[in-house]
Structure 1
Amino acid sequence: MCGIAGVFAVGGTLPFGGGVVESMCRQIVHRGPDDQGVYRDASAQIGMRRLSIIDVGGGHQPIHNEDESIQVVFNGEIYNFQELRRELEARGHRFYTHSDTECIVHAYEEYGDACFSHLRGMFAIAIVDKARQRLVLGRDRLGKKPLYYSLLPGGVLAFASELKCLFEVPGFSPRISHRATLDYFVLGYVPAPASIYEGVHKLLPAHSLTVERGQIRTQCYWQPQFEPKLQGDEATLKRQLLEQIEEAVRVRLVSDVPFGAFLSGGLDSSVVAALMARNLSQPVKTFSIGFEEERFNELPAARAVARHIGAEHHEFVVEADAVEAMRDLVWYFDEPFGDSSALPTHLVSKMAVGHVKMVLSGDGGDELFAGYERYRKYQTLLDLRSRSLGLAGVGLRALSAVLPGAAGVRLGRIGQRIVQDFPDDYLSGVAICNRDDLALVLKPELAQLDPFASVRHHFLDGDAQGLDRILRGDMATYLSDDIMVKVDRMTMANSLEARAPLLDHKLLEFSARLPQDMKLRGGTGKYLFKQVARELLPAEVLDKPKQGFAIPVAHWLRHELRERMTDTLTSSSFRQRGLFDSAGVERCMSRHRPAATTTANCSGCC
């Protein structure tokens, strides 16, 4: 696990001297505290910071081919590297390390730009091909590892694992994107390929970018296929699913350093930890975090799983002063990020790195197997629309006008959703702000923009139908731009590698083709996954309600964070940005002051 950075002359020669890539790498030492390596010539500078996991002593990057004409830096892990190495050696390639990085070098020699489709893992890769005067960038299928890029004045393409690196490149001049600002307020994150800055892009998951002969092009090398559906009875599909999950866990247990598992107490991380225990000869080291507020605390469930699998368990209870860590989070994320579970992820990573250098996590189970409550609620919305012949929207909006408080607000929003077309009827249910909220806090020229223009196409493209359309859209948006960003930044902030077996692309290809009633059945999500879990976990974990990795943010905004919130949102720099309606922000902020009567009247912006 590492961080990478570099600059490449689109026109042939860099307009500045050496040292730029070293400055870029200094910004991401937290991603790789063990080592630094650079390669430079007249047209390219590439570098990396390394967190040594595989071939600790011999995997220094950049890695090159036999005649050193191809240079590679790489962030991530390739889980099939041993199999791929044997295949490439049989074709005549000679290796000088035992690292997974070198497989990328020779796979590029053998397969060209198609090399990425041969890799099973998580990765952001930069390849300099000196003989052909070309740069190739590639990103893994689900966007587990980040990669930003920008074409700067003078024909320089700059790229890096984190946005902050680009500030070290001569000619980089950041400008806040109004569209990205709106997207953040609607979704809680900035969806790819945009970033918060104009002209700075995220390479999309499952895409490569090539610079050659003055031209820049991107292409997609993989897409999930939801058809044709798998055949077989429930028992057969259950057995096959267990085999797929266990194999995804097993290939991620290759490591030359100590490792463990995040254990939230939820179903996904518990299944991963249980399968780790089944495939290891020593106890699994597990790490959990909880809160003093009971409704946010999953520690009892995590302890039950740890006892059941015989884990060496570690836990930490978050206290109020933990909100001080939020100042650090701003620096690590680089752009607006609204997922409050970033804080507990940061804290559990900080705890884990005192014992291990790599962990497995349970991320991805909700998107693969329809575990979120919003999927059930959307199905209820569709049923209501069908039973009322489309007239429920009018009735609910009329009723909302006479009902006071939160009940009226909720009915009004349901009424609005019923009359919307897909996917807006789904997206408006998961958005954190609606049009009224946007009009309250943003300037009119932003608030009036189409709120879902940046993500709508992800729910309409491809072969998926019904529930699968939503799962596919969420994988392309919420999963890659929220969940994966959170896990990457917060683990890397603590120099900890995180691997997600449930997001193995082979497992995803299997789960995508499961019949939809094996995912959502009778209002129960993760139907088949839960049948698998029953073979691995204690009953008290299987039957408990889903909580999610949440924090008591509303309480903190009224107490520990109140002063910081007020200082930030009333500052002159905040007003001078020209993006916000100061009076509307003040009204929204006032709802989080202790004098407010109830949170029930807060709209989505709160």
Structure 2
Amino acid sequence: MCGIAAIFGLRAIHKLPLLTKMMTDVIQHRGPDDEGVVLFSQEGDPTILGGEDTPEGVFKENLPYCPKKRRFSDGSYIGALGHRRLSIIDLSPAGHQPMSSEDQRYWIVYNGEIYNYLEIRKELESNGHHFYSHTDTEVILKAFSEWGVDCLHHFNGMFAFVIWDVKERRLFAARDRFGVKPLYYWINPKGMLAFASEIKQFTLLPGWNPKINHQRSYDFLNWGLTDHTEETLFAGVKQLRGGHYIYCPIDNIETQELKTRQWYQLRHSPFKGSFEEASKEFAEMLRDSIRLRLRADVDIGSCLSGGLDSSSIVCFANALLKEKNAEARQKTFSAYSDVLCFDERHYIEIVANRMNVEAHSTTPCLEHMESLVPEIIWHQDEPYGSTSIYAQWLVFDLVKKNKVKVMLDGQGADEHLAGYIPFFGCRFYDLFRSMQWRTLIQEMMMTKKNHPQVNPLFLFASRLVPHAVQQPLRRLLQKTASKPNWIDFRFLSAKNLVPFQSSKQNHLRDQSSLQLMHTSLPMLLRYEDRDSMAHSIESRTPFLDYRLVEFTLGLPSEYKLSHGLTKRVLRKGTEGIMPDEIRNRIDKIGFATAEEEWLTKRRPDVFRKWMDDAIESSQGILNPQARGIVDDIIDGKRKFSFIPWRIICFGHWMQRFSASI
């Protein structure tokens, strides 16, 4: 896991060595173990440089991509690649980046892990390729030289990389299937193209003038959505979507528009076997996914919330580590709460004690969070939807203090295993469309029994009611609706649209696809990447092995959700592996803080002040009605929601990045 930077132009770029160094320095947290830059002249000749954090051993290596000097001097260059390394696989100097092919034709900067790199390496060796290192970076380079763009289909992992072909003067930038690893790009007013792991890297480049993207700002403020399109909240800054790539000559970059191509689409094959067979196969695939993600030359730990997803990872990982005769106990890291209804320590301790792990925990508190908000926003690059991001931040801070460098986490399970509340509505709709009336009634009754806080009738009706009726109904029920009165649309030039309203999402599989690729997972992955990398930690997500996701999408809906019970194949598949107290849990807390308690009881004064500050910072976008939302929630006139935090965080974000409208 690392941080990358790339800058290219048609003509020589003024002070390019310095600009590239600045772009990598600002993300030192992503890679404190090594740094490097390669600069390209108009003729294509590379100038290879190290930096203050480049280990001495790198300069002594006789490899075509290792630097011989640290000095960053001016010169005439049209392109540059920069890298910050977090050493995970092959800790030797041979893992230095930017890395090149033997003939220095292909150069790469890469962030991520290819989990099946050993298998791909064997295949490439059988085709005559030879390797300098034991890194997955070199495997990507050789795979590209062997298969071209099709190399992407060979990779099982999380990745974002930029490859420069010196001979053809072409850029190849790509991102993994689900966008676990970030990759942004921006073209400045003079036609200079820049790629980065984090948006803040662009703030150091000439021509940067931060303005908000009005439509995406509306999507976040009202609907709580970010990362659902290629656009970001910064006007002009785009992200390469998960499963997409760019492959173009640099002569095209002055068009101000790069053509992106999709290389991966969610696919599935209908499963024909029994529920028991599906559960067994699911468990075997999850186990294999975790096995691959235990490949590292450093210590690996696990996040443990006490829920089904993280607990299953801890239990499988424990068994796999025992098979490898690992000497050290597995380390787990958790967030507790001092408010009982949000606290999952009972379940966390069950797993920790049964698996005999070395358990570590932390407890979020509002007073501590107050001082951290500006720093977390800076690392996140864009505003975030709830204070749970702070809890996650604390967990990774604890991980760093315990000198663990890689973590396993359960992101992605809810999206393809139907773990969220909206999936119940999809289940009802599927039964209604297939005229299974008795089963529909039974499902609604069981859902209410297992989840008293859920309104099955509303979930069902929301799938049947026409879009034109939905918004007034949602407003009546105090749910998020279009065109809220607390946004002043004279200052926020956004269309009054409901994101993905026209998308197919009534069927359970369609809802999974939407959440995996647009509305849920991409946003959560950004939170996870920034919180982990802020602490120089690599986070791995076993539930996002594409083989597992595609298998689960092909299962009948009732194998995932039935009798008011979610994630059925996971529950059945972990029988005898995960403690029954966890397998049979029907409550779902999620990775939550006591935000409602903080707002309504403990420190309403803090939230009122934050809200006032956000309104002032918004440059007219938020009107005084926004303050009324906080007051009404505190006074019990309105149900708790995350709207106040979104408004507060948006104001902090505009101020932190000096964004204008």
**Residues 290 and 316 in structure 2, CA contact (< 8 A), matched pair in contact too:** yes
Q: Secondary structure at the match of 2:162?
A: strand
Letter in 2 for 1:196: L
Which residue of structure 2 aligns with residue 550 of structure 1? Answer: 592
Cα distance in 2, alignment partners of residues 24 and 433 from structure 1: 42
Q: Is residue 147–residue 160 contact of structure 1 (8 Å, CA) maintained in 2?
A: yes
2:315 aligned partner: 274
Aligned mates of 2:103, 2:433 — CA distance in 1: 65
Q: How far apart are residue 475 of structure 1 and its match? A: 0.4
In structure 2, C-alpha distance between the alignment counterparts of 1:26 and 1:560, rounded to whole Å? 40
Match of 1:302 among 348, 357, 378: 348
Residue 537 (structure 1) aligned with residue 584 (structure 2): no
Q: For residues 424 and 346 of structure 1, do their structure 2 counterparts lie closer, same or farther at Cα, with a shift above 3 Å needed?
A: farther
Alpha-carbon separation, structure 1, partners of 2:610 and 2:598:
15
Aligned to 1:14: 13
Q: 1:211 to 1:293 in 2, by over 3 A?
A: same
Alignment-derived partner of residue 263 in structure 1: 304
- Amino acid in structure 2 at the alignment position of 1:112: G
1:107 correspondence with 2:155: no
Quote the Cα distance in structure 2 between the aligned partners of 1:602 and 1:315. 27
Query: What letter is aligned with 1:204?
Result: R
In 2 relative to 1, CA 485–428 (structure 1 residues): closer, same or farther, beyond 3 Å? Answer: farther
What corresponds to 2:274 in structure 1? 233
Residue type of the alignment partner of 1:194: E
Task: List alignment gaps of at least 5 residues for structure 2.
Answer: 41-76, 253-257, 438-452, 645-661
Are 2:484 and 1:438 aligned?
yes
Q: Is 1:54 aligned with 2:54?
A: no
Q: Is the 8 A contact 2:335 2:361 kept in 1?
A: yes
Matches for 1:185-584 after TM superposition, within 5 Å: 185-190=221-226, 191-215=228-252, 216-226=258-268, 228-280=269-321, 281-282=325-326, 283-324=329-370, 325-355=372-402, 356-380=404-428, 418-421=464-467, 434-435=480-481, 438-443=484-489, 446=492, 449-453=495-499, 455-456=500-501, 459-460=503-504, 466-544=507-585, 545-558=587-600, 562-571=604-613, 574=616, 577-581=619-623, 583-584=624-625
Deviation at 1:137, TM superposition (A): 0.9
Kept after mapping to 2: 8 A contact 1:25/1:47: yes
Further displaced range: 267-276 or 209-218: 209-218
CA drift at 1:322: 3.0
- Contact 1:424/1:452 (CA < 8 Å) preserved in 2? no
Letter in 2 for 1:44: G
Secondary structure of the structure 2 residue equivalent to 1:269? helix
Could you tell me which of 120, 127, 134 is aligned with 1:84?
120
The Cα of 1:565 is off from its aligned counterpart by 3.8
Residue type of the alignment partner of 2:572: Q
Query: Which shifted more, 263-272 or 464-473?
Result: 464-473
Deviation at 1:543, TM superposition (A): 2.3
CA shift, 1:575, in A, is 5.3
The structural deviation recorded for 1:179 is 0.3
Give the C-alpha shift of residue 197 in structure 1: 1.1
The corresponding residue for 1:183 is 219
TM-score, normalising length: structure 1: 0.88
| Cα distance in 2 for residues equivalent to 1:534 and 1:442 | 53
* Shift in alpha-carbon separation, 1:130–1:533, aligned structure 2, 3 A: same
Gap change, CA 1:323 and 1:303, over 3 Å in 2: same
Q: 1:483 to 1:136 in 2, by over 3 A?
A: same
Q: 1:74 aligns with which of 86, 89, 110?
A: 110
Contact 2:271-2:555 at 8 Å conserved across structures = yes
TM-superposed deviation, 1:448: 7.2
Other structure's SS at 1:19 match: helix
Using the TM superposition, give the Cα deviation of residue 378 of structure 1 relative to its aligned residue in structure 2, in angstroms.
4.6
Provide the rounded CA distance (Å) in 1 between the counterparts of 2:142 and 2:126. Answer: 12
When the two chains are superposed, the root-mean-square deviation of aligned CA atoms in Å is 3.1
SS at match of 2:17: coil
Q: Give the whole-Å Cα distance in 2 for the aligned partners of 1:128 and 1:578.
A: 44
SS in 2 for 1:3: strand
Closer, same or farther: CA 47–428 of 1 in aligned 2, 3 Å: farther
- Please tell me whether the aligned partners of residues 185 and 433 of structure 1 are also in contact (alpha carbons under 8 angstroms): no
Q: Deviations over 1:92-122 (max 9, x none)?
A: 2222111111111111111112222221100
How far is 1:136 from its partner?
Answer: 1.2
Change (3 A) 1:535 1:451: farther
Match of 1:605 in 2: 643
Instruction: Judge conservation of contact 1:289–1:317 (CA < 8 Å) in 2.
Output: yes
Distance 1:467 1:127 in 2: 38
- Tell me the alpha carbon deviations over residues 59-97 of structure 1, each in whole angstroms, 9 at most, x when there is no partner: 111111011111101111110111111212222222211
1:147 pairs with 2:183: yes
Q: Deviations over 1:398-420 (max 9, x none)?
A: xxxxxxxxx9x999998777423
Aligned to 1:35: 34
Residues 468-518 of structure 1: per-residue CA shift (max 9 Å, x gap): 000000001234322111111111111111111111111112111112211
377 and 414 in structure 1: CA distance in 2 versus 1, 3 angstrom threshold:
closer
Kindly state the Cα deviation for residue 432 of structure 1 after the two structures are TM-superposed. Answer: 10
1:605 counterpart letter in structure 2: I
Question: What runs of 5+ residues in structure 1 fail to find an aligned partner?
Answer: 390-406
SS at match of 1:236: helix
Distance in 1 (CA, whole Å) between partners of 2:146 and 2:11 is: 25
Tell me by how many angstroms 1:536 deviates: 1.2
When residues 573 and 513 of structure 1 are mapped into structure 2, their CA distance, relative to the original with a 3 A threshold, is closer
Q: Secondary structure at the match of 2:401?
A: coil
2:198 aligned residue: 162
Give yes or no for contact 1:250–1:279 (8 Å, CA) kept in 2: yes
1:392 is aligned to none
Q: Within 1, Cα distance between the matches of 2:137 and 2:365?
A: 41
* Structure 1 range deviating more: 554-563 or 29-38: 554-563
Contact 1:468-1:512 within 8 A present in 2 as well: yes
Whole-angstrom CA distance in 2 between matches of 1:414 and 1:443: 32
| Paired residues of 1:182 and 1:451 also in contact (CA < 8 A) | no
Offset of 1:318 from its aligned partner? 2.7
CA drift of 1:558 comes to: 4.3
TM-fit CA distance, 1:298: 0.7
State whether residues 109 and 162 of structure 2, in contact with CA within 8 Å, keep that contact through their aligned partners in structure 1: yes
Residue type matched to 1:341 in 2?
A: S
CA spacing shift, 1:564–1:126, aligned 2, 3 Å: farther
| Alpha-carbon distance, 1:267 to partner | 0.3
Equivalent residue, structure 1, for 2:79: 44
1:546-592 CA deviation, whole Å, 9 max, x = no partner? Answer: 211111112223466645544444349835623222x2112123225
Residue 557 and residue 148 in structure 1: after superposition, are their counterparts in 2 closer, same or farther (change >3 A)?
same
Q: CA deviation at 1:424?
A: 7.8
TM-score, normalised to structure 2, is: 0.81
Gap change, CA 1:381 and 1:89, over 3 Å in 2: closer
Aligned partner of 1:111: which letter?
Answer: W
Q: Tell me if structure 2 keeps the 8 A contact 1:70–1:105.
A: yes
Does 2:168 align with 1:120?
no
CA shift in 2, pair 1:177/1:504, >3 Å: same
- Equivalent residue letter for 1:270: S
* Structure 1 residues 131 and 273: CA distance shift in structure 2, 3 A: same
